[in-house]
Amino acid sequence: MNFTSNMRRIPLLNLSRAFGSFGLIVGAALQLSGCAALDRDAHADALAAHAAPAPLVREQIATPQFVLTAWTRITQPGQPIDVYIEGDGLAWLSRSEPSLDPTPREATGLALAAADPGPNVAYLARPCQFTPMALNPRCSVPWWTGKRFAPEVVASMNDAVGQIAARAPGQRLNLIGFSGGGAIAVLVAARRHDVATLRTVAGNLDDEYINRTHGVSAMPDSLNPVDAAARVATIAQIHFDSDADRIVTPEVARRFAAAAGGRCVSVRTVPGMEHDGDWSRQWPMLLQIAPRCESSNE
C-alpha cells in the first residue's frame, strides 16, 4: 500500500506558543537569567505533579555520555512503557545567537507525557536540558545546536531508554517524540528491537530538508532521521503534522514516509495547529489512534 493512502486529517483546536528550535525564536531577554532557568524547572515540575492518574517523579539517569533528567511513572511492570522524548528546547535565542541553556520554556514533550493516562509513562529530556551543568562537564553549545542529533547524543538517549525498559522486563516500548525529539525517537528506534510503536508530533524527520528550507546551517555532525527510515519501516508508526506548522511543514513527514515505504507508516495532518500549539490538550484523543501495519491484502 502506498503511504499516501494512510494520510488523514484530524480536526483539532489551535492554541499557539512560541517556538524554541532552529534559531527562529526572537527576543529572549529573560531566558539567560538564573530566575528564568528556575521558572522553567518549576513549570516542568508542576506539569509532572499534575499528571493523571498519578504524578511523574523526577530523576536523573546517568549514561556514559551525559546525565539526563527524566520524569517517570512505572506502576505496572507487566505492561508496555510509553517513552516520551523532548524537543530541542531553547536551543537558540535568535537566528544567529545560541542559548546558553537549552532547557525548554514550555516542555511540550513533558506536557504530552503528563497527558498520557497509561500506567507506565517515562519522559526523557534531551542532553543538558533540566540537568545542572555541573553534572555534565561536556555540555556546551554544539550539543544543542549543530550536534543535537550526533551519534553521541543518540547513544546517550538510547542508553537511558534501555535503563527505563529494564523496569518492565520483557515488555515492549512505545516511543513518542516531539519536534527534534521525533528525530531522536526515530534514531533510537533504529537501534533497538523492543519498540512496538513509534509516534512523532511535529517531528523533525529530515533535518537537512528543514534546514535548507529555512536557510539555516546544515548539521554535518548530526545524524538525519530520514536516513534511518528504512530501518524502522516495519515498526507501526504515526507521524502527526499540521497544515499550520511553519517550522516543520507537512512535507517533512511525507518525505519520511516515502523513504520508509511499506505498510506501517501513517501520516496524520492536524488542521490549524501551529508548531508549538497546545498538542497536549488533544493528546489523550490522539493516543487513541493506534499505529498499525496494514495487512498485505488491503
Q: What is the pLDDT of residues 198-207, one digit of tens each?
A: 999 999 999 9
State the pLDDT at residue 107: 97
Please determine, for residue 20, whether its predicted confidence score (pLDDT) is greater than 80.
no
Report the C-alpha gap between 64 and 67 in whole angstroms. Answer: 8
54 within domain boundaries: yes
Give how many domains the chain has, as a whole number.
1
State the pLDDT at residue 37: 64
146 within domain boundaries: yes
296 within domain boundaries: no
Please determine, for residue 161, whether its predicted confidence score (pLDDT) is greater than 80.
yes
User: Which pairs from 128-133 meet CB under 8 Å and 24+ separation?
Assistant: 128/66, 128/101, 128/102, 128/103, 129/69, 129/86, 129/89, 129/102, 129/103, 129/104, 130/40, 130/41, 130/44, 130/69, 130/103, 131/60, 131/66, 131/67, 131/68, 131/69, 133/101
Query: What's the whole-model pTM score?
Result: 0.88
Across the chain, mean pLDDT equals: 89
Q: pLDDT tens digits for 248-259?
A: 999 999 999 999
19 within domain boundaries: yes
Q: pLDDT tens digits for 209-246?
A: 999 999 998 999 999 999 999 999 999 999 999 999 99
Please determine, for residue 99, whether its predicted confidence score (pLDDT) is greater than 80.
yes
State the pLDDT at residue 95: 84
State the pLDDT at residue 113: 98
Q: What percent of the chain shows pLDDT beyond 90?
A: 83
pLDDT band at 35 (very low <50, low <70, confident <90, very high): low
297 within domain boundaries: no
Q: pLDDT tens digits for 44-67?
A: 999 999 999 999 999 999 999 999
Q: Give the residue numbers spanning the domain of 82.
A: 3-287
**CATH (domain of 106):** 3.40.50.1820
72 within domain boundaries: yes
298 within domain boundaries: no
143 within domain boundaries: yes
State the pLDDT at residue 25: 33
pLDDT band at 32 (very low <50, low <70, confident <90, very high): very low
